[in-house]
Structure formats: structure tokens, C-alpha cells
Structure 1
Amino acid sequence: MFNGSPFPVDAFPQIIRNAIYEVEQHTQAPQALIAASALGVISLACQNRIDVCRLNNLRGPVSLFLLTLAESGERKSTVDKLLMEPLYQLEENLFEKYTHDLTVWRNDEAIFNIEKKSLMSKLKSEIRRNKDHLATNEKLKVLLASHPKSPVRFKQIFNDATPAAIKDYLCGYWRSVGIMSDEAGTIFNGYTLNELPFINKMWDGAMFPVERKSEPEKLIRDARMTLSLMVQPNIFKGYIKRKGDMAKGIGFFARCLICQPGSTQGNRQITSPVVSTEYLPIFHQRLMKIVNESIARNNENDRLCLRFTVEAEKRWIAFSNNVEYEMGILGRLSNFKDYASKMAENMARIAALLHHFNGDEGDISLLTVEAAVEISTWYVGEYVRLFSKPQEFTLAISEADELYWWINNYCIRLKASWITKNTVLQYGPNKFRNRSKANEVLNTLYSQNRILTEKKGKTVFIAIAGSIF
């Protein structure tokens, strides 16, 4: 059952927000599904044009990994088609051009090989007969220098591809790809995610060596990869059972923005046959401007590095510090430290994408960072909701109740609004005077939003939720 909060669509800049609402009008698909798809498209378009610079000039990619869980019938394919349409058309046009150029190249290559064979034969004959061969030698040099270059295959959207195929492609001319799918069952059950360390390295923007027995070693340098996958929950659960521990252990899930939007099936009533058609073209126009610029400048290796304004950087630091606090023993993210460790970076990436796609000039503003914080926080809530272990043990629940009422009664008796954790350890019920047990139950109460905590120095203060420190 879905119990998540609505996606903060209003946090997006107008050009993105209007496109999402228009797609929702056309499809009546869940807003969060549309928003996740839009973020994937934007990441794919922008990742080869910009990087983001965080604290102390730490430069990194803006690429996002998005996993959206949605049942069959949620109109995933329709949403994907509406948002990605010009990119799919570009891929088709460039493939047709590549096919034509490949035919021309093969003809030129055949002629080249005939000329080369003829000149080499003549050169061998002249050398064998001790004749002057300088003229033939020069002709051969000129011919070899004019060897026809094979056409470049432009492809930025991969669906069901092997890691080897993706690696080979990123070793070539183009260095920016997206693994995109509106029905990612084949990806989760296939080969694409078989090498998660490689996928993780691409999120990091790190160098990756590619070794083949029959070929010299190659290096993937400064490549970018977006992951935007929509998958049915049962398929994802199957993947979790097979490889979930590994995916979590090496940090793949920690890099992902994962959500399971509430279903709109059963509520998709047609109230008006007239829907807006003015905003998607504006979204597409901006999308293709960025993509075409990226293609034209691919060889220049000059990604724009976006920085934060002073106010925006202070907000990013505050967000990062708050995440660090929540990773503490009583924090909401204490059981999700792996995910929390990537939150501030993902937030910075989202901020940079919103800034660039919106066409904003200069440094990333405080307003944009606030929008990124809102979106990131929503995804954190989804991750915690989806990966929290269900409360199966009634004993743990009853212990949480017991400690809660002891804290409540203790505060009432002393007319205090708070107590310290040491008070629990010294004067609480015997079972809670063990530090690890107290931490476990206090953590349960905190996750249930029944208590508040604040750390001052080495002292942890505890209050019943609703009271004031």
C-alpha cells in the first residue's frame, strides 16, 4: 500500500513544472512518475555540458540514477514517449545518417584497399628489380595518409545492452550515455546491471580501464552516465532477493533516487477532451538546444563547472550537516548511512541541473538550492519508506511504549520538558540501563516521531514530541 507524500512538483522551475503538469493532463499518470522521468531526461541532456563544484572546489558530474517502481498500466511508456520524443527522433535521424555514411565509407574503403594493393605490388616489383621506386613510395605514403575514416556512430540512449558494449562505446568518440527504459524488466533480469562496480564508477565520473585479451588496454575517461529506469515492483523485489545485498553493499542503491508513486488507476476520469499542448514544445526546445550544443562541442572537453552563490553554498552546507546529524545513533537516517552519505551530492547535482536547464546565468542561486533540497528530501523519505524493515516484533513495540511513558511520566513528575539520555541509563527501567538496548528503543521512538532529540556537546537531550527544548 502506498503511504508516501506527494511529489513537490511546484519546486521545479516553470519550464519543467508546466511540462510535468501537461504530461499529467495527457496521461493522468502519477505526478512522481512523470517528475522522475523528467529528471532522467534532463540529466541525460545536461550531463555532457555541465559539472557541479561543491565545497573546496570539489568538482563532479551532475548525472542522476533514478529507479521508479510502478505497476503495469501506470502509463510509463506514454510518459516516456512524451518527454523523450525529440531525443528518440534525433537518435533515429543520426542512425540513418550513420547507415548512409557507412555505405559510402565501405565503398571508399574498398577502392582504397585496391589502390593500396596495387601500389604495394608495384613497389615490391620495383624493389625486387632494383628500379627507382621513390615515386611509387611517395604515392603510397600519400594514399595511406588519406585512409578513409570510418563514420562515428552517435548513440546516447541504451536499453538492454551488455556492460562490455557500453564500455566499448564510451572508449570511443562519444562520452555521454543514458541507460533508459520505461519497462526495465529486461535490464534487471539481463546483463546491463551485472557489473555494478562499473556502473558506480560512471556515477562517480571516475576513470575506468577496459581490458581485452586480444586488444591493447583502453581507458574510459571523464565519461557520464544517466540511469533512468521504470520497473514493476515485483520484478524489483526479485532483483532485491537475488542481488540486493550486493547492490546495497557496494553502494549502488545509495547512489539512486528511488521511489514508488501511488497508483492513479481507478481514478483516471476523462472530464474534458481538451488538454493543453503549449508547454511540452517549450520543454523539448530547451532540451534539444542543450543536446545539440553538447554534440557540437563534444571534442572540446570544456564542460561548464557550475558553482553556488555564497548564500546557496551556506544552505548546501547546512543541508549536509543536518544529514550528518540524522546519521547519528538517534537520527532518522541512522539505519541508512550508506544512502545518507550520497544525499548532499545528489542534492547538488539536482540544483545544477535545474539551474542549467532553466537557462539561469551565473552561479546557482539559493532559490534553486532550496528547490533541490525539497526534491532530495522527498526522495529520502521514499527510500526510508521502501527500505525500512517492518515492525514484526510486538515485544519491540511494547518496549518502545514502555520507555515512552516512562520518559513522559518522569518529565511530568519533575515538571521538566526534557531529560538526558544518561537519566534513562541511570534511573530508567532496568532493561533500558544497557546502552545498546536504550539506543535501540530510543531510535524506534525517534523514527516514530514520538520523541525529539538534540545533542549539545556529548550530552543527548530527549523530549516528548510536542514539548519545547
Structure 2
Amino acid sequence: MNNPFHNPPPVEDCTPVMKKTILEIHAATQAPLGMILATVLFDMTLSVQNSIDVRRPNGSQGPVSTIMTVLADSGERKSTVANEIFSAVEEVETEENKKTDQEMEGWKIQSKLHAEKLKGVLAAIRKAMTKGKPTEELDVLYLKLVMEQPVKPKRIRVMFGPDITLAALKYALYETGSSVAIVTDEGGEFYKSNAAIDYPFLNSAWGGVGPKVSRRTSESFSVPDVRLSLLQMVQNALFQEHENGRGSMARASGYHARGLICRPASTQGFRWITAEQILRAATPVFTARVKALLRENIAHVKAGTLERIVMEFSPEAAIQFNQTGNRIEGMLQPGQPLCEFKDHASKLGENIARVAAVLEYFEYGPGPISADTLRRASEIVQWFSSEFQHIFGPGAQVDSFMSDINKFGIWLNSCTQREGKAVFEKSWVQRNVTFSLRGKARLEPILDHFVTTGQIRYIQDNKKTMIEVNPAYFQIGLFLHYRV
């Protein structure tokens, strides 16, 4: 379903390198601008989330990590955009894996040598004890060797795919230095994971609170200070199906309120092939910055020297931030835009602060968040907020139902063309209709709509209920008026 709410993404309000990178990738892929903006912002967040925190003017301090959801149907080039933007992350991970492989070989050799030294000292202690000789010096040597046990190298992974389980995700946070991201350009795969519906864990991780895992058969562990970001690019129908099923608690739990969500307008039908050469000036600068930030952070994690930089607001930006908070508060009053979205509004200020810190540090480095950067962050988050209101607002159910009607009409029209007939058993329709529309609760309201509008009617053939289509409606292209 395309987005009828034409709300252009605030590309002009992005910081300079970010803006130029978005426009270059858009020119190369012709994918929706909003999808590119969201993915670029996520990549920036991923690259800095373990290096910085943000302190808001009221003194509260926390992570800059994000939960990002992009609704885009098949053919919108989600994978193309993801592959382009996250190539730098994958390059760093590949080179890091090679380094770790070499370090692991060295560790194995050192561990064997160390084990032999321990055996030798223990043998000497036993021999001395047998002969009644003192062992104090050998005891000290043995304890010294125990304390000098070679440390197994950490295998740092920055980015995980959609198939990660909840247990594997928690252990990854423990093993890799407490900071990871999950990225999926096919969100339906992530929805199959038990990690996708553990909203208490995901909500806590968004706030920086890590898991405590107690085990009976292996080592228990806890991660007190985590950084977890999540990007899901998912088709509209799969998102709606998940929300109506396994993900029904996502909104009620506050998961969606914490995140940034968008449904960018489609570019399909307007992606013209030209001979124009696309200049790539900003994209190499952007990818180089991503790689530099990740390499620097990984080096600190492996050396045990990580200390996150706290990004604070300049005096002017602090005043502006408080004014923004007051405007948001005013919009919660009856009849105001955020009156029905209090859960979402409660996290807007924090999301603005997080995005502002990411923009400032990525583009300009350490230093106070300027009023200009805060303004840009506010515009970006405001766009995501308007998308949230449209997706979850009063008209959302109507949009979803009209989308279902459109799908059913297209499917039934294809059946009449393929089968060359206008009468079908209702039970056959129930079994063979588009998968996302199956089930009585989903299909019956659609059939009722088609009966009411005269496009189909029920007839009885002995004990069988048959569906007869109205030939006046089922002709090629006639269902275009349902598309939204």
C-alpha cells in the first residue's frame, strides 16, 4: 500500500554530509527518499552508539541507540539500499574477523604453553611434597601463572541479521562488548524470531538496561549497560499481520512509542532509466566516517579502554530543547495533534536528543550539540512523528481494510481471467485466497463489502455456498480505484 499521506522527508534539514549522501543514493537507486533517510540515519547511529551518550538539559543521561521501522512493499529496493549503506559496516566486520582469526591462533598456542607451565609447576610441587621439601616459592609461582592465564580474544560483531534468536542476541551483547545492531531488509524473517516479541527486553535495551541470564548447565552472565539498535524494513501486509498476531503487544508495551517509524511514498512507476552519470562525492566521505568510527570503537572495546563521550547541549540549544518540550506538552491537550498519542509523545523529546547527539558527533565530532543541529534533529523526528500518527491514527484501520479489499479484488479478478468462469465455491476461495487474507475474521468483512457493493453475490448449489462475481466489475484494470 502506497502512502497517500504525502509527507516529504526532511532531507533539506539533514546535516551536510548526510544530506548529500541521501541524495546521491537516491539518484543511484531511485528508491524512496524516506527509506534512504531512515537507513542512513540508522547507519550513523550504529557507528556511534557505543562511543557516545547524550545528556539532556534536565541532567538525565542515556544511550543514542534507536529502533527503526520502515514500511515498504516488494519492489521498493529495500535490499539495494541496505546493501549500499551497510557495505562499510560489513567491510569493517570482515577485516575484524580476519584479525580475530589470527589472534585466536596465537591465543591457542599461548594457552597450550601456559597449560604446560602449570603442569610443570604442579609436578614440581608434588615432587617437593613427596620429599618433604618446602613449596612456598612454587606455590607463589603457580598462583602467578594462574593469574596470567592468556585472555581469549573477543570476536566483535557489530551487525546481526533477522534470524538471531533471543538467547543468541543476549549472549552477543555479553560477548561482543555490549553493543550490537540487528538489521533486516526483510522484516518478516525477524518476526519469526522470539527476539521480535520480547518487548520488555527490547524496551529495556533501548534504555541501556541489559539482560541478566541465569543458567543451570553453563555460565550465567549479565550485561548491565547495553547499546542495541534495531532496523526493520518490512512490507506493509506483513507488518499489519504481525501487529494483529504475535506482535499485538508492540503498541501497548511502548515498543512503537520508543521507535522511529515511517511509510515513505513509493517511487515505483517513476524510476526512469537515463544516461546521466551520477556523481559520488559525499558517499565515500560518509562511508569513510562510518568505518573510522567503528574501528576506533572496536579498538577501545578490545583494549578495555572504552569510555563513552557524553554529548551535552550548548546553552542556546538547551533553551531550544526546553521550548520544544513545552510545545510537545501543549500538543497533548484535548483536540491537539498528540492528544491520542500520549505514549508516542512521551518519548519524542528523548528521540530528538538522541538524533541530535548522533548528527553532531558523526558530522562534527565531540563537542556541545549546537542549536542548529538540534533544529535539524527536531525536524527529522517530527517527520517520523507525523508518520507514526498516520500509521497508528484513527484512519489506519480504514487504510488497512481498503488495502485488503484491493488485494482481494486483484486476486479474484486474476481468478476469473485464469479460470474463465464467474462462479466459485466459497470454500475454495477461503482455501486459495491470498495468504494474508485467509481466516474467517479477516476474509468475511471483505466478502461482506463485495456483496454490499454488488460486485459479488452468494448463491446456493445444493448444500454448497457459491460466490458469483458480477462481470461488470471484473475486467482488467477496473480495480485501480481501490488502490491507495
TM range (shorter): 0.7 to 0.9
User: Which residue of 72, 84, 87 corresponds with 2:86?
Assistant: 84
The 1-side partners of 2:305 and 2:113 are apart by 33
- C-alpha RMSD of the superposition: 2.2
Q: Is 1:316–2:321 an aligned residue pair? A: yes
Find 2:203's aligned residue among 200, 206, 215.
200
1:338 pairs with one of 316, 340, 343: 343
Answer whether contact 1:52 1:305 (CA < 8 A) is retained. yes
- Code of the residue aligned with 2:171 in structure 1: it is D
Normalised to the residue count of structure 2, the TM-score between the two structures is: 0.76
> What percentage of residue pairs aligned between the two structures are identical?
32
Match of 1:161 in 2: 164
Match of 2:312 among 307, 314, 318: 307
Q: What TM-score results when the alignment is normalised by the length of structure 1?
A: 0.78
Distance change in 2, residues 1:125/1:343 (3 Å): same
Residue 350 in structure 1 maps to residue 355 in structure 2: yes
Q: Which amino acid aligns with 1:303?
A: R
1:146-186 deviation line (CA, Å, top 9, x unaligned): 32221111111112222222222323451221111222222
- 2: CA distance between counterparts of 1:335 and 1:100? 56
The aligned residue for residue 177 of structure 1 is 180
Could you report, residue by residue, the CA deviation over 1:416-442 in whole angstroms, capped at 9, with x for unpaired residues? xxxxxxxxxxxxxxxxxxxxxxxxxxx
Note the residue ranges of structure 2 that are not aligned, 5 or more in a row: 399-484
1:10 counterpart SS class: helix
Give yes or no for contact 1:49–1:303 (8 Å, CA) kept in 2: yes
Q: Which amino acid aligns with 1:388?
A: G
Specify whether residues 150 and 297 from structure 1 end up closer, same or farther in structure 2 by C-alpha distance, changes over 3 A only.
Answer: closer
Deviation at 1:138, TM superposition (A): 4.7
- Report the secondary structure of 2:388's partner residue: helix
Q: Distance in 2 between matches of 1:279 and 1:150?
A: 39
User: Structure 1 residues 391, 166: CA separation in 2 closer, same or farther (over 3 Å shift)?
Assistant: closer
* 2:56 aligned residue: 54
Report the AA paired with residue 153 of structure 1.
R
What CA deviation, in whole Å up to 9, does each residue of 1:320-379 have, x standing for no partner? 222222222212222211111111110111111111111156322222121111111111
Counterparts of residues 396-407 of structure 1 (less than 5 Å): none
Q: Secondary structure at the match of 2:289?
A: helix
Residues 189 and 239, structure 1, Cα contact 8 Å, conserved in 2: no
The correspondence of residues 10-409 of structure 1 with structure 2, limited to 5 A, is 10-134=12-136, 136-159=138-161, 160-172=163-175, 174-214=177-217, 217-298=220-301, 299-359=304-364, 362-390=367-395
Shift of 1:135: 5.5
Task: Work out whether residues 179 and 227 of structure 1, in 8 Å CA contact, stay in contact via their aligned partners in 2.
Answer: yes
Give the letter for the 1:87 counterpart: V
- The alpha carbon displacement at 1:10 in A equals 0.6
Moved more, 241-250 or 42-51: 241-250
Contact between 1:163 and 1:194, CA under 8 Å: does it hold in 2? no
CA 1:220–1:127 in structure 2 vs 1: closer, same or farther (change >3 Å)? same
CA distance in 2, matches of 1:56, 1:291: 30
Deviations 1:275-334 (A, max 9, x none): 112211111122222222222333334322222223322222222222222222212222
Q: How many residues align?
A: 393
Structure 1 unaligned spans of 5+: 394-469
Q: Give the conservation status (yes or no) of the 8 Å contact 2:31–2:267.
A: yes
Q: Give the aligned partner of residue 8 of structure 2.
A: 6
Moved more, 330-339 or 106-115: 106-115
In the alignment, the residues of structure 2 paired with residue 392 and residue 164 of structure 1 have an alpha-carbon distance, to the nearest angstrom, of: 35
